[in-house]
A and B are shown apart, each in its own frame.
Chain A
Amino acid sequence: MKALSILIGIAAGIGLALVIFKYSNRNHKMETQYDERQKDVRGKGYRYAYYAMMIYEAILLILSIGEVALPVESYVLHFTGMLVGAMVLATYCIWHDAYWGLNNNRKRYGLIFLALGILNAIPVIGSLARGGMLENGKLATPAINLGVLIMLVVTGAELLIKAQLEKRGAEE
């Protein structure tokens, strides 16, 4: 029953995200459009993200075989692997000018990032107020929110730095 409610929650979240993204693109298309160079760069980004996730999972496997017990719930560990992959992809694309698509409205995406940041900060602050992020001696659900929050902050900082560099270096 718990798994079903989580699945329904994820499905609802994805559905909502798709609607938000549709109205965040200038031409109201769900899909972000990239030019040929950007598609090429993103292909490489996905490759590096795949390598990063494989390495991360291999490390988890070795720890598991070695019976090293981490004070972290297993779902948090695997979710962290997804975040690692997403971070590698985002970072590679940002620094190779392939993060923003041709039809993205950056201001609207900025607002989505901000809203996501606030939504993820609430459970983190709540758990810290209750005395910590550990549940039964292990890092649990709030750690996922913290991970997403860190990812958003790092990605946002990279985008801001890149935008500043772009302003300075824009060739005309």
Chain B
Amino acid sequence: MKNLRLKAARAAKDLSQEQLAALCNVSRQTISAIEKGDYNPTINLCIAICKALGKTLDELFWEG
């Protein structure tokens, strides 16, 4: 399932996939794969992404 909340949060911060990837120390393709729903990140990467975007895990990753 696509993670549109992540994409929206990244866009709101005016960050490219490349920039977010650099902040989280991963490749651009990994951010792309998470946004497309092709890859389920570990909790450590989820936390790194949340910190970079100033969001909580619930806001970006929890499917309530």
User: Closest Cβ of chain A: how far from B3's Cβ, in Å?
Assistant: 13
Q: Are B17 and A102 within 8 A (Cβ)? A: no
The dominant DSSP class at the A interface is: loop
Q: Are B16 and A172 within 8 A (Cβ)? A: yes
Q: With A171-B17, A172-B16, A172-B17 as known contacts, state yes or no: A36 contacts B29, CB within 8 Å.
A: no
Q: Are A171 and B32 within 8 A (Cβ)? A: yes
The answer to the question of A47 belonging to the interface, with a C-beta cut-off of 8 Å to chain B, is no
B35 CB contacts on chain A under 8 angstroms? 171
Interchain CA distance A37-B39 in the complex, whole Å: 7
User: Closest Cβ of chain A: how far from B11's Cβ, in Å?
Assistant: 10
Task: List chain B positions with a Cβ less than 8 A from chain A.
Answer: 16-17, 25-30, 32-33, 35, 39, 41-42, 44-45
B16 CB contacts on chain A under 8 angstroms? 172
Q: Are A37 and B17 within 8 A (Cβ)? A: no
Task: List chain A positions with a Cβ less than 8 A from chain B.
Answer: 35-38, 97, 100, 102, 170-172
Q: Which residue of B lies closest to A40 (CB)?
A: B39
Q: With A37-B33, A171-B17, A172-B17 as known contacts, state yes or no: A97 contacts B41, CB within 8 Å.
A: no
A-B interface, 9 closest residue pairs, ranked by CB to CB distance from nearest: A97-B29, A35-B26, A37-B30, A37-B39, A35-B30, A172-B16, A35-B27, A36-B42, A171-B32
Q: Are B27 and A102 within 8 A (Cβ)? A: yes
B17 CB contacts on chain A under 8 angstroms? 170-172
Q: Which residue of A lies closest to B40 (CB)?
A: A37
Interchain CA distance A156-B32 in the complex, whole Å: 24
User: Closest Cβ of chain B: how far from A169's Cβ, in Å?
Assistant: 9
Q: Which residue of A lies closest to B44 (CB)?
A: A36
Q: Are A38 and B32 within 8 A (Cβ)? A: no
